Structure 1
Amino acid sequence: MAERTGQIIFTLALVTGLLTGCTKAGESREIGESRRAGPTTTSGPVTPSARATPSTQVIPFELYTHCGIDEARVGSTYYEAVTPLSDGSGNPPDGWGNPTQRGTMTVKSTTEAVFTDDAGHEVKFRARPGATSFKRICA
């Protein structure tokens, strides 16, 4: 009987793992969201509750930095950096991860967001009203 109960618990744990999917710890993604993105994007954790709203939200965020820091997407809102950052050759500046930098995005309003990380970086973003894609795709 105890062996059978153990088998049932193991099977339930396995099924639960399969149903929740394979993501990194603390990471989730909207259905249909792709990691392929523009110059800088929400290549990381974005949940339906992370969409830009009038109330301040702080969410884990993986900023795409490969071609410099210029754009980001939170939910369905596209943002552009108030002051884009680059090394002058289309790469992130010294001290930034490449191709991504993990941190948090604070959505302050429907038009303003701020990325910060443990390295002390801070980038302010403003929404691009009506945008449905990135201005350019990083090659």
Structure 2
Amino acid sequence: MTDKLRYVVALLAAGALTGCAAAGEVGPAAQATRSAQGAPAARTIPFDLLTHCGIDEARIGKTYFEASIPLSDGSGNPPRGWGNPTQHGTMTMTSGTEAVFTDDAGHEVHFRARPAANTFKRLCA
């Protein structure tokens, strides 16, 4: 991938991090870091991950993401050790299509974008 293409992808990822903040979403409080070459690097923001029906999806800006490995207790709830209905932590955009949620409890969940998605796969009641 050329440096110019990497820069464009990074700009698109940065644009995905704007919008209204709610559980499972990010808002304009995101902070960017820069690599040694001055190009935007990974972007980490505070994030409240919706966990009530298990850990399966997240909305970051206008982009819907799904967990690479969904987590639940087998009954549609978050696994033991997770908050319910949300878990506070940070979301790091590692690329324009990948993100990682982490928290102080040591949880780590990898997410990938769902191209062309305009809503969650399922709504949690």
Deviations 1:27-81 (A, max 9, x none): xx94xx474x7xxx22xx421757xxx7410000000100000000110111000
Whichever structure has more helix as a proportion of its residues is 1
What fraction of aligned residue pairs are identical, expressed as a percent? Answer: 66
User: TM-score, with normalisation over the residues of structure 2?
Assistant: 0.73
User: TM-score, with normalisation over the residues of structure 1?
Assistant: 0.66
Whichever structure has more strand as a proportion of its residues is 2
Matched, 1:75 2:61: yes
Root mean square deviation, CA, Å? 2.1
Looking at structure 2, the residues matched to 131 and 76 of structure 1 have their Cα atoms a distance apart, in angstroms, of 9
Q: CA deviation at 1:121?
A: 0.1
Matched, 1:86 2:72: yes
Contact 2:30-2:43 within 8 A present in 1 as well: no
Structure number, greater radius of gyration: 1
Looking at structure 1, the residues matched to 21 and 30 of structure 2 have their Cα atoms a distance apart, in angstroms, of 18
Looking at structure 2, the residues matched to 49 and 119 of structure 1 have their Cα atoms a distance apart, in angstroms, of 21
Structure 2, unpaired ranges of 5+: 1-17, 32-39
Matched, 1:47 2:22: no
Q: How does 1:1-139 map to 2 (within 5 A)?
A: 30=19, 33=20, 35=22, 41-42=24-25, 45-47=26-28, 55-139=41-125
4+ runs deviating over 2 angstroms: none
